[in-house]
Structure 1
Amino acid sequence: MEDTPLVVGVDGSVSSLRAVDWAANEATRHGASLRIVHASLWERYEGSDPAIGAEGPPDQALAERVVATAAARARRREPSLSVITHIAAEDPAGTLLHESTFASAVVVGSRGRGELSALLLGSVSLLVAARAACPVVVIRGDEAALNAEHGRILLGVGSRDSGTAAVHFALREASVRHATLRAVSAWRHPGPRLGKHRPPSGGAREPAEQAATSLLARALEEQTPLFPDVRVERVTAEGPAAKVLTSLSFEADLLILGARRQGTPVGLELGTTAHRALHHSACPVVVVPHAVHTTRATG
């Protein structure tokens, strides 16, 4: 991330300020600058209430206050951090998608509505995660989870959504954090289940589990030699991938998933696993597009 800035989108909400905290720490780890971006139409899309106060000045002054508050917060957290601010009187999702073309990563908060705000993801965050040209970090998890240090990076490896960029990104994060990389491939028994009875040990489930083991080996074989300092745990688990990864996210500092580029105007196909993880993970989630320039994917 050293050659390009880490971008964080802010709207003045508590969620976006938590994203600033995470992004400030992350930029410092990688020796990058932090670019704080505010789009003035953000509130129209997210319906968020600025954490800096309900009563505010006109739009431009409020926008300046939002970015100034975020910048001051980032500098207090990381005094040596280089911070740049940018205000755009444009659509928030479009602004961040444009920023993603020259960012090492884009960081956004997780915004919800109503009683399910802890679970549901804001429309801007979801759109940016689906279409950005660089990795997108959605800050999931409560304050305690964000401050916890489990020393473990979680990587989801699937037959459709695995990609070299995601693996490299995960290994790089584990290296700079001196953390263990837990690479996980979920598998399902192909045959019908009878009630709650599991198939007998040594039976038909073995080929599916072996396929998951082989998938992990293929995904990791080229990249792991580049990071000899990283301890890698290879885990195969029976069950829906989203459920498996969400459960393991309680013991991780970061969950990393790959996404396929469709080559169409809609950009990336997140898939069911990434979509559910973005809504329910207990830790921040990174979506890494396959077709991404190396410096963007890895920093």
Structure 2
Amino acid sequence: MNARVGRDGGEPLVVGVDGSEPSLRAVDWAADEAVLRGVPLRLVYACLWDRYEGGAVAQGLGRPPAAPPSPRDVVDAGTERALARHPGLRVTADVLDEEPEYALVREGRKASALVLGTRGRSGVAEMLLGSVSLAVAAHADCPVIVLRGSHDNQATPPVHGRIVVGVGEDPKNSATVRFAAEEARRRGVTLEAVRAWRCPAHESTGHPLLVGGPERLYEERAAEELETALRDVPEDVEVRRRTVEGHARRVLLDASHQADLLVVGARRGEGHLGLQLGRVAHGLLHHSACPVAVIPHPDGAA
């Protein structure tokens, strides 16, 4: 891996930090990803985040837990951590005096991607995703990568050798597949494209001679949609195609156990609390066994 990459420009990869252990682990992952992309790494701390999250940094700085680090200590520690991992990486850092949701969404307008860690403090808490990550994933203009599950603090080398992409209801919208294919090519791993399908119950029952007929038609349609979605994947990317009967959320959650990254499109809609993610992306962000990349689409389609 060439640690000098990141010096030559390009939109930075932005990682949110708050002094917690999950956010410091996110710095490790983001540093690897920035090197893969050949872009700078930018650390952002929003000052209105809870100050008591800084125990991990305080310990690293030799301070007692009762003396929490300042915001500048947090970003300085994150910068040192990234440079220790990749000495040639270009790293910048800022402390912003505003709510993290607004700060990160704004940062995303000039970022190649945003990287966020989960904020759980226990095994049970880590099953739940913080409101910051959900809000950013619902509003950011760039890809948002949330480090769910056990990612071993690394984007590289690959653990499972597989990037999984969920193909949604609009296979002609290629942004999600294009992002996943680029990630697979950077890592030199297989791209597994998954299309979940279901046959309505009222169509699967009928004349005994027609048993299996409707299901076969839905499966064939899913396979055709998968081919449409993959039509522009570069030839040097190894692709595995899978059509699976079942709910998309469950199918993709199962696939996440053998993936280094799960990539899904952002189906966004207006709810009573404002712009929100669709149920599939929302469920994956809460329960995926691996990092999840949420890719926005101009028309909001998944």
Is TM-score (shorter-chain normalized) higher than 0.5? Answer: yes
RMSD: 2.8
CA drift of 1:250 comes to 1.0
Q: Which residue of 1 aligns with 2:57?
A: 52
Question: Residue 143 and residue 105 in structure 1: after superposition, are their counterparts in 2 closer, same or farther (change >3 A)?
Answer: closer
1:149-228 alignment, distance < 5 Å: 149-159=159-169, 163-191=173-201, 202-221=212-231, 223-224=232-233, 227-228=234-235
Question: Residue 100 and residue 205 in structure 1: after superposition, are their counterparts in 2 closer, same or farther (change >3 A)?
Answer: same
CA distance in 1, matches of 2:297, 2:39: 22
Matched to 2:223, the amino acid is T
CA distance in 1, matches of 2:211, 2:223: 17
Q: Which residue of 1 aligns with 2:111?
A: 103
Q: Taking CA–CA contacts closer than 8 Å with sequence separation of 6 or more, which of the two structures ends up with the larger relative contact order?
A: 1
CA drift of 1:14 comes to 0.8
Percent same amino acid at aligned positions? 47
CA distance in 2, matches of 1:168, 1:121: 26
1:192-271 alignment, distance < 5 Å: 202-221=212-231, 223-224=232-233, 227-260=234-267, 269-271=276-278
TM-score, normalised on structure 1?
A: 0.85
Q: Work out whether residues 13 and 111 of structure 2, in 8 Å CA contact, stay in contact via their aligned partners in 1.
A: yes
2:284 aligned with 1:277: yes
Question: Residue 77 and residue 4 in structure 1: after superposition, are their counterparts in 2 closer, same or farther (change >3 A)?
Answer: same
TM-score, normalised on structure 2?
A: 0.84
Where structure 1 has 5 or more consecutive residues not aligned to the other structure, the ranges are: 293-299
Question: Residue 161 and residue 52 in structure 1: after superposition, are their counterparts in 2 closer, same or farther (change >3 A)?
Answer: farther
CA distance in 1, matches of 2:86, 2:125: 29
CA drift of 1:148 comes to 5.5
Q: Work out whether residues 34 and 82 of structure 1, in 8 Å CA contact, stay in contact via their aligned partners in 2.
A: yes
CA distance in 2, matches of 1:112, 1:63: 20
Count of matched residue positions in the alignment of Structure 1 and Structure 2? 280
1:134 counterpart SS class: coil
Which residue, out of 76, 79, 83, partners 1:68?
76
Where structure 2 has 5 or more consecutive residues not aligned to the other structure, the ranges are: 1-5, 59-64
CA drift of 1:116 comes to 2.0
Q: Which residue of 2 aligns with 1:124?
A: 132
2:95 aligned with 1:87: yes
CA distance in 2, matches of 1:184, 1:39: 37
CA drift of 1:210 comes to 1.4
